[in-house]
Amino acid sequence: MRHFPSPFPAYSSPPPSPSSTNNNMGGPNLELFKFAVYVFFPVAIMFHYGNPDWYEKNVAPLKDQFWPREDTLNRPPHDNITLQAELARFKAEREARRERRQAAEAEAASASQGEPHRLV
């Protein structure tokens, strides 16, 4: 068989013939080992990290760093009575803000009437 020069020098050697390659595979024991690793490794990881003792020791102390405390969470009303109470509270807060804003605007208007306006 005649080989022509390759335009790529890194690939200039001819491919090996099928009879000259060494086909020593791992055999059935290697395949059995790989299968055991593929099956039992995830099971072992789930067993280790799913253990309640491990969770209480390693995850529970860090819980406050990731999740807010229960008393700071927003609890929407679930029945009509608490819904009406929340609406009344929102309306009262809105009315108080409006009154404060109007008082501040009235104070600013009365303060600006005392001094003349300058154009420069």
35 is written with which tokens? Answer: 């299968």
pLDDT tens digits along 14-64: 666 666 556 677 788 999 999 999 999 999 999 999 999 999 999 888 888
What is the pLDDT at residue 113?
75
Task: Please report whether residue 106 resides in a domain.
Answer: no
Task: Please report whether residue 13 resides in a domain.
Answer: no
What is the pLDDT at residue 96?
98
pLDDT tens digits along 59-111: 888 888 888 888 888 888 899 999 999 999 999 999 999 999 999 999 888 87
* Helical segments of the chain, H only: 28-49, 52-58, 63-66, 80-114
Instruction: Specify the pTM.
Output: 0.38
Task: Please report whether residue 16 resides in a domain.
Answer: no
For the chain, the domain total comes to 1
Task: Please report whether residue 3 resides in a domain.
Answer: no
Task: Please report whether residue 41 resides in a domain.
Answer: yes
Task: Please report whether residue 23 resides in a domain.
Answer: no
Task: Please report whether residue 94 resides in a domain.
Answer: no
Domain that holds residue 35: 28-70
Task: Please report whether residue 2 resides in a domain.
Answer: no
